[in-house]
Amino acid sequence: MSTQTTHAAGRRSHGKGRTPARGRRWAVALLLIVGLGAVLAAAVLPTLKDAARELTLPLHHEDIIRQQAREKNLPADLIAGVIYAESKFSDQTSHAGARGLMQITPATAHAIATRTGGSAFQESDLSDPEVNIRYGTWYLRNLMDRYDGDIVYTLAAYNAGQGNVEKWVAAAKADGGRLTVSSIPFAETREYIQRVLDARADYRAHYAKALGL
C-alpha cells in the first residue's frame, strides 16, 4: 500500500473516531436546551396563568371586600361574585344610571346615605371603590335580613328590585309553591343569579386566601 493511501485511510479513520464525540456534544447541548426550556416554563407559566385569570376572573380592592364582609357579616366570596356580575370590577355607569363596582343607583345610594348618616354623600362618591362597596354591602345585608338569609331572594331583589320579588313570592305562594330561580319570570334575573353563584364558587376556589376565606 502506498504512503498516500495509508494517509488517506488514516484520515478516514480519524474522521470516524470523531463522529461519536460530536454526537455526544450535540446530545448534551440538546439536553441543556430542554432543561433550560423546562426551567423557563416553570417560571413563566404561573405568571401567564395569573395574567389569564386576571382577565377572566379579576379581583381588586380585596382589602375593602374583607373589611366590609366582616362589618356586614357577609361572605367575602359572595361580595366578589356580585361585583363580578355587576361590573367585573370596572367603574362604570349603566344605561339605567346605576354606578360603580356594585352598580348602585343614585336613588338607592341617597336612601342608604340617609339611613347610615352619610350627610356629606354626593353621587360622584359612587366612583370611589370604598364608598361603593360599603353601600353595596349595606344593601346586600339589608336584603339578606329582609329575606331571612335566602340568597336567591336577595340576589333577585338586588337585580330586579324588591317590588318585583314581593310579587313573584306572592304568586308562588298562591300556586302553593315557593319562588325558585327557575320560576323567576325575568330571564335577565335568572341569568344574573346564576352568574353570581358561579362567580362566587370561582372566587372561593381561586382567591380564598386573598378574600380571607
Please give the radius of gyration of the chain, using alpha carbons only, rounded to the nearest integer: 31
Q: Which residues contact 123 (CB under 8 A, 6 or more apart)?
A: 99, 106, 109
pLDDT at 5 over 50: no
Q: What are the residue numbers of the active site?
A: 86
pLDDT at 28: 72
Flag whether pLDDT at 9 surpasses 70. Answer: no
Task: Specify the pLDDT at position 49.
Answer: 55
**At 7, is the pLDDT very low, low, confident or very high (cuts 50, 70, 90)?**
very low
Single out the residue of 68, 97, 92, 95 nearest to residue 80, CA to CA. 68
Residue 62, C-alpha cell as written in the block = 380585596
Q: Is the pLDDT of residue 40 over 70?
A: no
Please report the pLDDT score of residue 112 as a whole number: 96
Give the confidence band of 6 by pLDDT, cuts at 50, 70, 90.
Answer: very low
| 3-state SS assignment for residue 93 | strand
Higher pLDDT pick, 134 / 40: 134
pLDDT for position 129: 97
Range with lowest mean pLDDT among 33-42, 74-83, 145-154, 187-196: 33-42
pLDDT tens, 138-177? 999 999 999 999 999 999 999 999 999 999 999 999 999 9
Return the axis-axis angle of helices 76-87 and 129-146, rounded to nearest 10°: 110
> Quick one: pLDDT at residue 106?
95
- pTM of this structure: 0.76
Tens digits of per-residue pLDDT, 80-136?
A: 999 999 999 999 999 989 999 999 999 999 999 999 987 789 999 999 999 999 999
Between 5 and 203, the more confident residue is 203
- Percentage of residues in the chain having pLDDT higher than 70: 79
Cell of 46: 404561573
Mean pLDDT of 198-206: 97
Helix (H, G, I), strand (E, B) or coil at 104: strand
